Amino acid sequence: MKLPAPPNDHRPPGVGPRQRSSWSACLPAKQRPQPGEALVVGVLPGEGVGPEVVGAALEVLGRVADAAGLDTEIAFGGAIGREAERACGQPLSDEVLTFCEDILARGGAIVNGPGGGRYVYDLRHRLDLFLKISPLQVENGLPDASPIRPETLQGVDLLLTRENTGGAYQGVWGEGRDAAGQRRAEHRISYLEPHVQRFLDASARLACSRRGELSVVWKEAGVPSISQLWQACAERAAQAHGVRLRMVDVDLMAYRLIREPAAFDVVAAPNLFGDVLADLGAVLLGSRGLSYSGNFGERGEGVYQTNHGAAYDLAGSDRANPAAQILALAMMLRESFGRMREARAVEEALRSVWCAGGRTADVHVSGAKLVGTREMGRLVAERAASLLRPSPHAAGVPEPRGRLESNPA
C-alpha cells in the first residue's frame, strides 16, 4: 500500500506550514537572540518516557547544529515530578528551579521532558510563564492516523493559547469537615485583571499577525464573574489590536474544534479549559504523541515540552513517539533562537520520514514500517542534517527521496 503524501504536498521544496515569523513576537517585552552567540539549552529529561523522547530530540539537535555550524551549550538539570518528590519531597526542587532561572537569564531555553505531580504547574507559576502556545497544524500531523474525516482536517492551522498562571490549576485548596463531620474538599480560584489582560493582549497580537481572528473560550453562565472579567479584557484586546473577536462557551468550543476546526485561527482559553482543548485537539493531529507546546514569560523566556504525560507504562520499551518532543525542539529553535531555517529543516525532516513510511506504533498504518523511538530520532536527525547541507541540485531544501522498506503484512 502506498502511503498518502502529507497534506499540501504541492509546497515548494523545503517550505513548511505558513509560519514565517516568530509566534513569541506577540510578547510585550520579547528579547531578540544575538547572532553568533552559542545556543544555551537547558535539558530536563523528565521521567517515564521522558529520557527516551528527549534523547531523540537531542540527537536531532546535535546533527542540526553540526550541519548548520551552530555553537550549542547543553546543560542538564536534575530530577522532576514524582522522581523529585521521592527524593526531596516536592516535584519542583529549588535546585531545578535555580537551574532553569540561570539558563533563562543567560538567554537560553529549556527542553522539558514530562514530569508527574504538580511539576509543570509549579514551574509555570514560579517562572511566570503565563502564555502557553499549542500549535494544532495538520501539516505537522498525520491525518491518516486520525479518526476525523480527511475533508474536515483540510487546511487546519490553529494556535491554542492558554493562560498558565491563574485559574483552576493555581489558587488555594485544602480539606476540612462540615458541621455534620462530613469530609469537604475546597479549591478557591481567582484571576487578576492585569494577568488576564496581558494574556489576551498577547493572544490578540498573535491573531493580528495571522488571520486577524481571536476566539476566547469562557463559560458565560457557569462561572459568571470570571467570564465577565475575561469578556471585558477580550474586548479591550480585540479593539486595541484590530482583530475580530468571538466569545465561545467551552462546551461548544470542544464540539466545534472537532466538527469544524478549520474555522478557527487563534483560540485563547483559561488554564483548565485550555488544557482539555489541547488534548482534544491532538485528535486532529492523529496522536497525543504529536502534540507539543511552548510556555513563555513576558521577555520570551521559553520552556518547550510535549503535551502528553510521562507514559510510565511505556518507559524503556522504545515504543514512545518522539515526534512531539522533536517538534517542540523545532519550536525552540525558531522562537527562542530565531533559527528559522533550522526549525523548518527539522519539521520537514519529520514529514519526510513519515512520507517515506516510518511510523511509531501510535500512528502506524498499513504499508508503513514500524520503528521505535531511537530509530525515529536517528532517521529525523539524518534527514534534517541532509536538508541543511548545501545541495548542488537545488537552490532550496531538496524534496524527500526514497521510502523506508515496509514490514511484511
CATH of the domain at 2: 3.40.718.10
pLDDT of 401 > 60? The answer is no
- Which of 28-32, 149-153, 369-373 shows the lowest mean pLDDT across its residues? 28-32
To the nearest whole percent, how much of the chain has pLDDT over 90? 87
Question: Are 218 and 310 found together in one domain?
Answer: no
45 found inside a domain = yes
Listed residues 258, 285, 312: the one ending a domain: 285
Closest-CA residue to 48 (of 360, 328, 310): 310
69 found inside a domain = yes
Q: What pLDDT, on a 0 to 100 scale, did the predictor assign at position 397?
A: 45
Catalytic: 219?
yes
Alpha helices in 89-242 (DSSP H): 94-105, 119-127, 150-153, 193-208, 224-241
Q: What pLDDT, on a 0 to 100 scale, did the predictor assign at position 31?
A: 78
The residue from 9, 71, 94, 251 that is catalytic is 251
Q: What pLDDT, on a 0 to 100 scale, did the predictor assign at position 144?
A: 94
Q: What pLDDT, on a 0 to 100 scale, did the predictor assign at position 28?
A: 84
Question: Are 335 and 372 found together in one domain?
Answer: yes
Question: Are 390 and 303 found together in one domain?
Answer: yes
pLDDT of 406 > 50? The answer is no
85 found inside a domain = yes
pLDDT of 392 > 90? The answer is no
Q: What pLDDT, on a 0 to 100 scale, did the predictor assign at position 404?
A: 53
Confidence of residue 391 (pLDDT cuts 50, 70, 90): low
Side-chain-facing half-sphere of 149: CA atoms under 13 Å: 4
Q: Which residues contact 185 (CB under 8 A, 6 or more apart)?
A: 173, 174, 175
Q: What mean pLDDT value characterizes the chain? A: 91
Question: Are 264 and 151 found together in one domain?
Answer: yes
Q: Hey, which residues does 75 pair with through a beta bridge? A: 42
Rounded distance, CA 94 to CA 91, Å? 10
pLDDT of 120 > 50? The answer is yes
pLDDT of 221 > 70? The answer is yes
Q: What pLDDT, on a 0 to 100 scale, did the predictor assign at position 20?
A: 59
Calculate mean pLDDT across residues 277-287: 97
Question: Are 255 and 348 found together in one domain?
Answer: no
Tally the domains of the chain: 2
- Which of 106-120, 289-303, 388-402 shows the lowest mean pLDDT across its residues? 388-402
The residue from 169, 191, 292, 304 that is catalytic is 169
Confidence of residue 16 (pLDDT cuts 50, 70, 90): very low
Please state, as a whole number, how many other Cβ atoms lie within 10 Å of the Cβ of residue 396. Answer: 11
Q: State the cell numbers at 223.
A: 462561572
- Which of 21-30, 282-291, 347-356 shows the lowest mean pLDDT across its residues? 21-30
The residue from 66, 102, 128, 219 that is catalytic is 219
Question: Are 255 and 336 found together in one domain?
Answer: no
Question: Are 260 and 383 found together in one domain?
Answer: no
- Which of 29-43, 97-111, 156-170, 343-357 shows the lowest mean pLDDT across its residues? 29-43
Q: What pLDDT, on a 0 to 100 scale, did the predictor assign at position 203?
A: 98
Q: Output the CA–CA distances (angstroms, integers) from residue 117 to 84, 90, 129, in the order listed.
A: 10, 9, 18
**What is the end-to-end Cα distance of the chain in Å, rounded?**
10
Q: What pLDDT, on a 0 to 100 scale, did the predictor assign at position 389?
A: 87
Listed residues 265, 285, 305: the one ending a domain: 285
Catalytic: 251?
yes
Catalytic: 122?
no
- DSSP strand pairing (109-112 vs 39-44): parallel
216 found inside a domain = yes
The residue from 122, 157, 201, 275 that is catalytic is 275
374 found inside a domain = yes
Q: What pLDDT, on a 0 to 100 scale, did the predictor assign at position 174?
A: 94
pLDDT of 10 > 50? The answer is no
Rounded distance, CA 151 to CA 266, Å? 21
To the nearest whole percent, how much of the chain has pLDDT over 70? 90
The whole-model pTM stands at 0.91
State pLDDT tens for residues 322-355: 999 999 999 999 999 999 999 999 999 999 999 9
Q: State the cell numbers at 277.
A: 482543548
The domain in which residue 248 lies consists of 147-171+188-285
